[in-house]
A and B are shown apart, each in its own frame.
Chain A
Amino acid sequence: DTAVSQTPKYLVTQMGNDKSIKCEQNLGHDTMYWYKQDSKKFLKIMFSYNNKELIINETVPNRFSPKSPDKAHLNLHINSLELGDSAVYFCASSKTGAEQYFGPGTRLTVT
């Protein structure tokens, strides 16, 4: 069974559209994260979230918003997509805040 899963794996859309990426973890972890990996492979934290607190990286535009329907899911909503949003987005989860387990990624292409 996949520990951290994301859908879709590929997402191609036009500028100005709104899209969502779903993430689910079956590890029973309390904290989930979203990371962005750019074309140069640089990984950067976007959000961390547990049932008590959402921590937003200050550089993330407010067009990005995480939504957690329950402890096992943390979805990423993106409004008014821009060309610069093209990247691979990874969801991760952790029980302790230390060992983080990553999903397979969603490659977003904005045309």
Chain B
Amino acid sequence: GENVEQHPSTLSVQEGDSAVIKCTYSDSASNYFPWYKQELGKGPQLIIDIRSNVGEKKDQRIAVTLNKTAKHFSLHITETQPEDSAVYFCAASNVWGYGGSQGNLIFGKGTKLSVKP
């Protein structure tokens, strides 16, 4: 089955700096890669996602890149703000393929991002 590795486990940056979180996946059948932000006491919130037919996607200060050959994808946050502090999770899924596990997200272990004012 799919296995997702995420690094680093903790990341501390100064306000205004950039933050990068990296993930690798093992199953070449995975075709959908979302990123979630989880604030304390809340459920994970989808912040950006990318499909396997796209190499890069950007939404304001956040961007995600995907390298299918190397089986890794990354989250980039620019001009970080204190409200970006949270735990970020990457995930992988085989959404449009075949098999009983379609749509089941396999998560990385999370990165705790702290943005210092």
Q: Do residues B101 and A55 form an inter-chain contact, with CB atoms below 8 A?
A: yes
Shortest B77–chain A CB gap in Å is 19
What sequence of 0s and 1s flags, for each residue 89-111 of chain A, a beta carbon within 8 Å of any chain B beta carbon?
Answer: 01000101111111111000000
How far, in whole Å, are A35 and B58 apart by their CA atoms in the complex?
A: 28
Query: Scoring A residues 19 to 48 as 1 if CB is less than 8 Å from chain B, else 0, what string do you get?
Result: 000000000000101010000111111001
Q: Is the CB of B42 within 8 A of A97?
A: no
Q: How many residues of A contact B (CB 8 A)?
A: 25
Stretch of B11-19, B20-28, B60-68, B105-113 that contacts chain A: B105-113
Enumerate chain B residues within 8 angstroms of A48, measured Cβ to Cβ.
Answer: 103-104
Interchain Cβ contacts within 8 Å, total number? 63
The contact of B102 among A35, A97, A100, by CB within 8 Å, is A97
For the complex, count residues of B whose C-beta is within 8 A of A: 27
A43 to B100, CA, bound (A): 19
Measured in the bound complex, the distance between the Cα atoms of B34 and A94 in whole Å is: 13
Given the contacts A102-B43, A102-B44, A41 and B109 also touching, CB distance less than 8 Å: yes
Shortest C-beta distance, B3 to chain A (Å), equals: 12
Where chain A touches its partner, the secondary structure class is strand
Q: B107 contacts A44, CB within 8 Å?
A: yes
- With known contacts A98-B32, A98-B95, A104-B42, A40–B104 Cβ distance under 8 A: no
Interface pair A33/B104, CB less than 8 Å apart: yes
Can you list, as one digit per residue, whether each of B84-97 has a CB less than 8 Å from chain A (1) or not (0)? 00010100010110
| Contact A55 B95, beta carbon cutoff 8 Å | no
List chain B residues, Cβ under 8 A from A96.
95
Q: Are A99 and B49 in contact (CB under 8 A)?
A: yes
Rank and list the top 9 A-B pairs by shortest CB-CB distance, nearest first: A97-B103, A102-B43, A43-B107, A45-B104, A97-B95, A102-B44, A98-B95, A104-B43, A41-B110
